[in-house]
Amino acid sequence: MSVTSSQGPRRGPRGRPAGLLVSVLFAALLGGCPKPHIHHFTTSPPVACPGDEVTLRWETNGPVRLESNPEVPKLGRKDDSGQQTVTVSGPTTFRLEVSRVFGLKKEMTESEVLSPPKDLEYGIVDAEGQGRFTCSTQTGALESSFQLDGSHISPNVRIGQVLNMNVRTLVISKGEASETVAEGANAPGFEGQPAQGLWRLRVPLDEGESCEDALESVDGRLIIKLQLSCPR
């Protein structure tokens, strides 16, 4: 014998089915909630040696979850904005995920910390050819400089060799060390120095060459490749 219920669907106010009311309310909740948004997520410095500390900074519009590969302790769920300093054991990818409305809407981003040995290019790029260079026929050189600090690399990162990436002979100076380096050649004299610090780049002018011609010849850019390493 089969048994059937004579009752119809449970109804809410004004005779609407209760399940329909829940669905409508849930849809309204979803539609009215702002989409999850990551304003920024950074790791500083982006190049660090094993055992060095890096600082994660983030700002979002909702609670976040921080993860990493390989795993770093004490990550997990965090407030919508903040910062945390952690120690890395080597190259590490950090992942930040923000969600809204019971996790149904999500946004995710990643930030990577590299560890030497690694070759990276640094230097001056100025498409307009103004402001970042000084030049004088009296000094006979086109000159510029750049600074590597804790926002670029950790204090423990060291220099192996330095490669001149330019089409001209380049005089590279840092601290007490200075080397004249031909186009595409290496400068071994910086080996073992900390990579952090002020790097000066100088292009000697050819006889009778103007500053404008020298700047045009390097296409408004002076780049060197640093072979980075960590203390053994």
Q: CA-to-CA distance for 36 and 1, rounded, in angstroms?
A: 54
CATH architecture of the domain formed by 118-229: Sandwich (2.60)
Q: Which of 35-39, 40-44, 92-96, 157-161 bottoms out in mean pLDDT, i.e. has the lowest?
A: 35-39
Residue 203 one-letter amino acid: V
The domain segmentation of the chain, as residue ranges, is 38-113, 118-229
> So what's the pLDDT on residue 103?
56
Mean predicted confidence (pLDDT) in 216-227? 92
- Tell which residue, 130, 133, 151, has the closest CA to residue 141: 133
Q: Pick 15 or 75 by higher pLDDT.
A: 75
- The pLDDT tens digits of the residues spanning 123-153 come to 998 755 456 899 988 889 999 999 999 999 9
DSSP lists the bridge partners of residue 185 as none
Average pLDDT, the chain: 86
User: 38-113 sits in which CATH class?
Assistant: mainly beta
Please, are residues 98 and 104 in contact by the beta-carbon 8 Å criterion? no
Percent of the chain with pLDDT over 70: 82
- The pLDDT tens digits of the residues spanning 154-202 come to 999 999 999 999 999 999 999 999 999 999 999 999 999 999 999 999 9
Query: How is 18-85 classified by DSSP, letter by letter?
Result: HHHHHHHHHHHHHHHSPPP-EEEEEEESSB--TT-EEEEEEEESS-EEEEEES--TT-EEE-SEEEEE
Q: Note the pTM of the prediction, 2 decimals.
A: 0.78
Burial class, 32, CB count within 10 angstroms (exposed 0-12 / middle 13-18 / buried 19+): exposed
Q: Pick 22 or 181 by higher pLDDT.
A: 181
